[in-house]
Copies of this chain bind each other. A is one copy, B any other.
Amino acid sequence: MNNLWGIENLPYGVADTPDGGAQVVTRLGDDVIELATLANSDNMRKWARTFGHSSLNPFISQGRSSWSAARAWLQAILRDDKRKELVAAATKPLSEVTLHLPVQIADYVDFYASEQHATNVGSIFRPDGAALTPNWKHLPIGYHGRAGTVVVSGTDIVRPVGQRKGKDDPEPVFGPSVRLDIEAEVGFIVGGETEVGTRVSVDEAGDHLFGVALFNDWSARDIQAWEYVPLGPFLGKSFASTLSPWITPMEALESAKIALPTQDPQPLDYLRGDGLFGLDLQLEVRLNDTVVSTPPYKTMYWSPAQMLAHLTVNGASLRDGDLFASGTVSGDERDQRGSLLELSWSGKEPLELPDGTKRSFLEDGDTVTITATAPAPGGGRMALGEVTGTIQPARES
């Protein structure tokens, strides 16, 4: 069996079943297990109802104790020799199912939590100023993105068109983006609705963090550069963002939790607490068949718990299926940068690919795939679901 997808992993996804309809599935090795089917044959009506949907949202809405109970039931049945046939009857080869967007996304927020990424981007976009803005180490900077264009891994990405204005252009020009980029990120799926006007503290964040996904925040740097002052990124990002088909439960990542890098200056009280942690996720970015970067999530400055506490400190409520992403993951080394903007230093240092071609930004037909592993609870490594997408040419209208 593929040990990256063992019994200590068990991510959740949504797949079409051969007999029609979609249901929640998990992955074991190179198979998927239909969880509504399995729960039905195991006479677990609660789980059959929970998992018999085309999104994880009904499960997510049940809260942390249910997340834990479902995982315990699932691990128990998979370890139980007496129920082997039930499991076999609910198992399909991964290659035979279609995986869908696993979560109906409510609101999507993108953070900017890597000091190395923010420093690199600041140096490139604002060469005459300080690389980090004065607020950066005081709060996790973030902004809302377009939830309706979050697509599942494997969805083709049509090259966006729009306005751009280079330094030498007297007027803005219109056309396909010529600086199409990726952002290798980690996404966090939120569950447990809260009321408008209330906050979630860093210590309560664990009750609302359902699971982790890989995420590619495709970015048109030329569109973004022209539009983003003063109200932030809009069309440079909103054409598509790709989510992995598998959501890894937070409970499976206990062994991946590590201390954060030192935060200096110490943040304000509402960003401090016992619930802070980093995650030792090792990302890998492949452009076509070449590994171009290996971003280490452990270098991220802000904890997911801090991002969630910040997001709600003003009283903003949470909905089941909210997604917040970390922002681009970039490490200290050049080959740990999570965007082509940084890898090619805005085109000044193009990447050379084994076929002899060079890349500063993406060309039509390019395929980008982000994968990641984490320490598994029983030792060794486990995988997160991959995110992949291929660039299609821009459309005329």
Q: Mark A331-349, 1 if CB is under 8 A from B, else 0.
A: 0000000000000000000
Contact yes or no, B143 A232, CB < 8 A: yes
Contact yes or no, B316 A172, CB < 8 A: no
Residue from the list B144, B145, B162 in contact with A313, Cβ < 8 A:
B162
Could you write out 21 A-B pairs with CB less than 8 Å apart?
A: A133-B230, A134-B165, A135-B172, A135-B227, A143-B231, A143-B232, A143-B233, A144-B146, A147-B147, A148-B316, A148-B317, A148-B319, A158-B196, A160-B315, A161-B314, A196-B239, A197-B392, A199-B395, A199-B397, A223-B314, A240-B315
CA distance A319 to B151 in the complex (A): 14
A133, closest chain B residue (CB)? B229
A135-B226, A158-B197 as given contacts; A149 in contact with B317, CB under 8 Å: yes
Contact yes or no, A314 B162, CB < 8 A: yes
CA distance A177 to B236 in the complex (A): 31
Contacts of A172 in B (CB 8 A): 135, 138-139, 268
Contact yes or no, B230 A313, CB < 8 A: no
Which residues of A line the B interface, CB within 8 A? 106-107, 109, 112, 122, 125-126, 133-135, 138-139, 141-149, 151, 155, 158, 160-163, 165, 171-172, 174, 196-199, 201, 220, 223, 226-236, 238-240, 265, 268-270, 310-311, 313-319, 322, 392, 395, 397
A138-B172, A268-B172, A395-B197 as given contacts; A234 in contact with B143, CB under 8 Å: yes
CA distance A236 to B230 in the complex (A): 14
Contact yes or no, B227 A139, CB < 8 A: yes
Contacts of A311 in B (CB 8 A): 235, 238
A135-B226, A229-B135 as given contacts; A143 in contact with B143, CB under 8 Å: yes
Chain A interface helix/strand/loop/mixed = loop
Contacts of A143 in B (CB 8 A): 143-144, 231-234
CA distance A199 to B230 in the complex (A): 25
Contact yes or no, A313 B161, CB < 8 A: yes
Contact yes or no, B160 A138, CB < 8 A: no
CA distance A201 to B397 in the complex (A): 9
Contact yes or no, A196 B314, CB < 8 A: no
A174 to chain B, nearest CB (A): 5
Q: For A148, A223, A397, which residue has the most chain B Cβ atoms within 10 angstroms? A: A148
A373 to chain B, nearest CB (A): 30
Contact yes or no, B234 A147, CB < 8 A: no
A106-B147, A147-B106 as given contacts; A268 in contact with B315, CB under 8 Å: no
Contact yes or no, A232 B230, CB < 8 A: yes
Contact yes or no, A233 B232, CB < 8 A: yes
Contact yes or no, A232 B228, CB < 8 A: yes
Contacts of A395 in B (CB 8 A): 197-199, 315
A216 to chain B, nearest CB (A): 14
Per CB-CB distance, the 8 closest pairs between chain A and chain B, nearest first, are: A232-B232, A158-B197, A160-B314, A144-B144, A143-B231, A239-B314, A235-B314, A231-B232
A232, closest chain B residue (CB)? B232
A16 to chain B, nearest CB (A): 19
Contacts of A315 in B (CB 8 A): 158, 160-161, 239-240, 395
Contacts of A199 in B (CB 8 A): 395, 397
Contacts of A314 in B (CB 8 A): 160-162, 220, 223, 235-236, 238-239
A127 to chain B, nearest CB (A): 14
Q: For A133, A144, A171, A238, which residue has the most chain B Cβ atoms within 10 angstroms? A: A144
Contacts of A145 in B (CB 8 A): 144
Contacts of A171 in B (CB 8 A): 138, 265
Contact yes or no, A316 B231, CB < 8 A: no
Contacts of A134 in B (CB 8 A): 165
Contacts of A139 in B (CB 8 A): 163, 172, 227
